[in-house]
Amino acid sequence: MTSKANKTTAETIVETAQKEAETPQQEAIDKANADGVPLEELLEPDIQFANVGQDELIEKLQNEAAMWQDKALRAAAEEENTRARFAKEKVEILKFASAPLATEMFAVADILHKALEHLPQELREKAETKNFIEGLEFTEQALDGALQKVQIQKIGNVGDKFDPSIHQAVSIAVDSDAAPNTIVQVLQSGYILHGRILRAAMVIVSKA
């Protein structure tokens, strides 16, 4: 009677253990079905690890763990690269956000500069026009200052060494007394923003 009772108790323990082992497996199968994962993929590791020795099983598990660790590291690296790329693009967008509006203002700056450049000296000396001209000069200075506040710098000055990367030579002054290959006249100022040329300066250069 005791033997039968013991046997019944042992069988009960085994059955309970089997049920506990089957429950996670069944849950995994149900989840795989819900996610559309083929059952073969879910059961494949069990099939691979069946009927193998302990050492071989340990090796297979280690290889499996290494594979998933490698995948996780690759995914993390890719995510970090994507985040870094987006951050860099955001910085670039912010750096040059003022460029479109600024380029529209260049024409205004050109008009002011040309107007002041071609004013007759007698108008500058007349009392009735002196204040008006000073107002134009102040406006030009204010516009230049506004551009500088957004890191836009004016380029192209008389006496500068000619640099084809930022200057556009439209003519060569053959008879100039200036040093060779230098700017002798600025026809149109250029502008640069964070190293990017928004507009090259149009200049006349002395003969090299």
CATH number at 120 reads 2.30.22.10
Q: Which tens digit of pLDDT belongs to each residue from 166-181?
A: 999 999 988 778 888 9
3-state secondary structure of 86: helix
- CB burial string 143-168: b at 16+ within 10 A, e below: bbeebeeeebebbbeeebebeeebbb
**Looking at the predicted structure, is the pLDDT value of residue 102 above 90?**
no
> Domain limits at 33?
2-93
In angstroms, rounded to a whole number, what is the distance separating the alpha carbons of residues 55 and 141?
A: 82
Q: What is the mean pLDDT of residues 91-108?
A: 87
Among the three residues 74, 93, 112, which one is the final residue of a domain in this structure? 93
Among the three residues 93, 109, 127, which one is the final residue of a domain in this structure? 93
Q: What is the mean pLDDT of residues 88-115?
A: 88
The pair of structure tokens assigned to 117 is 């450049």
Q: Which tens digit of pLDDT belongs to each residue from 9-46?
A: 555 554 655 555 455 555 655 665 666 655 555 554 55
Q: Which residue has the tokens 């690890």?
A: 49
